[in-house]
Structures are given as C-alpha cells and as structure tokens.
Amino acid sequence: MSKVHNFSAGPGILPSEVLKEASESCLNFDNMNLSLLEISHRSKNFEAVIDESRSLVKELFEVGDEYEVLFLGGGASTQFAMVPYNLLTDTGYAAYVNTGVWASKAIKESKIIGNTKVIASSEDTNFNYIPKGYEVPKDADFLHITSNNTIYGTQMKSFPKSDVPVVCDMSSDIFSRKINAKDFSLIYAGAQKNMGPAGSTMIMVKKDILGKTGRKMLSMLDYQVHIKGGTMYNTPPVFPIYVSMLTLRWLKKHGGISWIEKINQQKADLLYNEIDRNSLFIGTTAVEDRSNMNACFLLKDASHEPEFDKLWKSMGIDGIRGHRDVGGYRASMYNALPIESVQVLVDAMKAFETKFA
C-alpha cells in the first residue's frame, strides 16, 4: 500500500508504532486474552493505564503534585463550560482573549455561567493575527487564552504575564513545544490532534484554584468530583486514553518535548519558506504569528485550485483543503507527521509553479 501523507486538521495523524500496538490491544490487551474494548475500566490492568497516562502528562510538563490530571469525555467543547463553572464566582468575572472560532465558543459558554469580558480580540481581521499589548486585569477570576488556532493558522509565541490564574486551551498544539507549564493554572486539550484518537480530553489543573465559586456543583461538571474519583467517577473513554498513553510513551522515549519541538520547527520552516518563495502561493496570517501546527495558505489565483488539487492528490497527499472560514489550503503538521511528508507537499508546490508560473 502506498504511503498517504496525512495533513488532516483533526482527528490527526498518530505514530505508526502507536497505531500498531493499539490495534493489537483490541484483540489481546496486556496478555489477558481479552480485548481492551471489553474489559472492566475498574480492572487493575486499566487502572495502570490511567495512572501511567496521568503521570506521563505531569512528567512531560515538569510539574508536581500541586497539579491533578484528568481524562474526561465531552471534548474540549465541554471544557468551554466546565472551566467557568468551576472557576467563575458570582461576584467576579472572567477575562477572555478571542483569537478564533473555538475561543468564541468558549466565550459564549462562559457568558451563560457568569460575567465575562473579552479583553482582546483579532476578530476585526478574521482572526489572522494574535492580539498583543493588552493588559490583563488583576481582579478577574481567571484569564482564558487559546494557544493555537487550528482554523486560522495562528499561534501564541509567548504567553501573557498574569496575576490571575491562566487557563489555556491547548487542543491543537499540546506537547508540541516547550512551555513553562507552571505558569498555567489549568490546561486542557482534546486528544485528537497530538495525543490520541477523538473521544477524550486531558485537563491538568492546579488544585488550589478549585472550590471557590460558592455554588453547589453538578457532580459530572465538578473537577473536584473527578479528581476524588481518580478520573473514573463515571466510565472513562477507555480506548482514547490508552492510545493517548501510548503516544505520550512514544514522545518520552524519543526525547520528550524538546526533541519534538526541534522537528516541528524544521517542518514549519520548510513549508513556510516555500509559501514565501513560491510565486503562486501566499500565506494568510501575520508572519510573526504563524502556527507551527497548522499552516494556512492560498493560491494567488483561485482558478488554479482544481489543477493543484489533482496534483497533490496524485502525490498521496490528504487533508490539506482549508477550513470554509478561510478557504485555500491548510497543512496540519502535528507531532507524528514526518518531515518527509512536508517535503512531498513542498515538491508539489514547486512542480505546480514550474507548470503554471
């Protein structure tokens, strides 16, 4: 079978060795002669998976016992509501930075819970840059930011200094670069970009920010309930958590976040250099805010798109059509995408220029 170069924005590419081990577990997990998909989530074998998954997150982020790690269902979209539900007080307010569709959705949910203020936004130019120079209020209950914007191809290259707890949606660039995780009070991410298949969301939360809202909490939406239940208050998404554990093992084995950050930078440099060099293509975002995970670009002459589409498909490339809100093309270069796949896309762009320039 010929290789497919998978640039899907999500669910995204996973390491081949992870897929192999995960598939084997569906037939015989942990030498139990039972499928991972049919064992009890309360078994010692799966409890070991939960424990290792949570431990790996803390190890890779270099944080201690002041943080708890949860793997929950409901996607990052549920976290849009759970974050303000657990952190926003009746008398306080939440501060948000709006950098795209997912940040906008988070703001919408927070406004249902309580007082919510947008302190900075790039909506004025269809989210093609990251706002800068704004002041973080010192009296907010928390600040919410989105580190990487999958649809628009922007990424925060640095994070705001804050006297209030910082919450970050890292769904599309988690574990892709070194950060000081201790600067954040809560990090959440859907697994389906850099960790595993769709179906699980990782939350890493500093325990001392919880239990301060004064409201009586619904059990399924209460972080403290899930922490007390060892992230198994209800039946967890077993398979996505297991695959996430395997991916985190893969990352650790090869050198951790420092290792993958260098590779991700090489991939991004390779593609963005071609976008800037090629006379037929143009990037869509502010150069200083370009995402290393999701590179968005256009053909200067949109009438050439059908021909370019034929070319990249013939070269085994998949998943680079842009989101409808931006158009053009989007190459998602998550951790597991090899640099060889990026080179194939660059070769396609060069070949297209030779033919049509």
Pick the catalytic residue from 102, 141, 267, 289: 102
CATH number 3.90.1150.10 is the correct assignment for the domain at 256-356: yes
The whole-number pLDDT of residue 129 equals: 98
Token look-up 């940040």 returns: 103
193 is catalytic: yes
Pick the catalytic residue from 141, 169, 173, 222: 169
The whole-number pLDDT of residue 165 equals: 98
CATH number 3.40.640.10 is the correct assignment for the domain at 16-254: yes
Angle (CA) 51 54 59, round 5°: 115
The whole-number pLDDT of residue 343 equals: 98
Angle (CA) 13 159 329, round 5°: 35
163 is catalytic: no
Bridge partners, residue 70, by sequence: 203
The C-alpha atoms of residue 27 and residue 239 are separated, in whole angstroms, by 12
User: Taking the model in full, what pTM does it have?
Assistant: 0.97
The whole-number pLDDT of residue 3 equals: 79
20 is catalytic: no
Give the residue extent of every domain in the chain: 16-254, 256-356
The whole-number pLDDT of residue 2 equals: 57
The whole-number pLDDT of residue 1 equals: 43
User: What is the gyration radius of the CA atoms in the chain, in angstroms?
Assistant: 21
Q: Which long-range contacts (CB under 8 A, 24 or more apart) does 106-111 make?
A: 106/79, 106/80, 106/144, 106/146, 106/169, 108/80, 109/80, 109/81, 109/84, 110/80, 110/81, 110/83, 110/84, 110/144
Per-residue pLDDT of the chain (357 residues; tens, 9 = 90+): 457 999 999 999 999 999 999 999 999 999 999 999 999 999 999 999 999 999 999 999 999 999 999 999 999 999 999 999 999 999 999 999 999 999 999 999 999 999 999 999 999 999 999 999 999 999 999 999 999 999 999 999 999 999 999 999 999 999 999 999 999 999 999 999 999 999 999 999 999 999 999 999 999 999 999 999 999 999 999 999 999 999 999 999 999 999 999 999 999 999 999 999 999 999 999 999 999 999 999 999 999 999 999 999 999 999 999 999 899 999 999 999 999 999 999 999 999 999 998
Phi, psi of 101 (to 5 degrees): -60, -45
Pick the catalytic residue from 3, 65, 138, 193: 193
The whole-number pLDDT of residue 357 equals: 84
Cβ atoms of 202 and 189 within 8 Å: the answer is yes
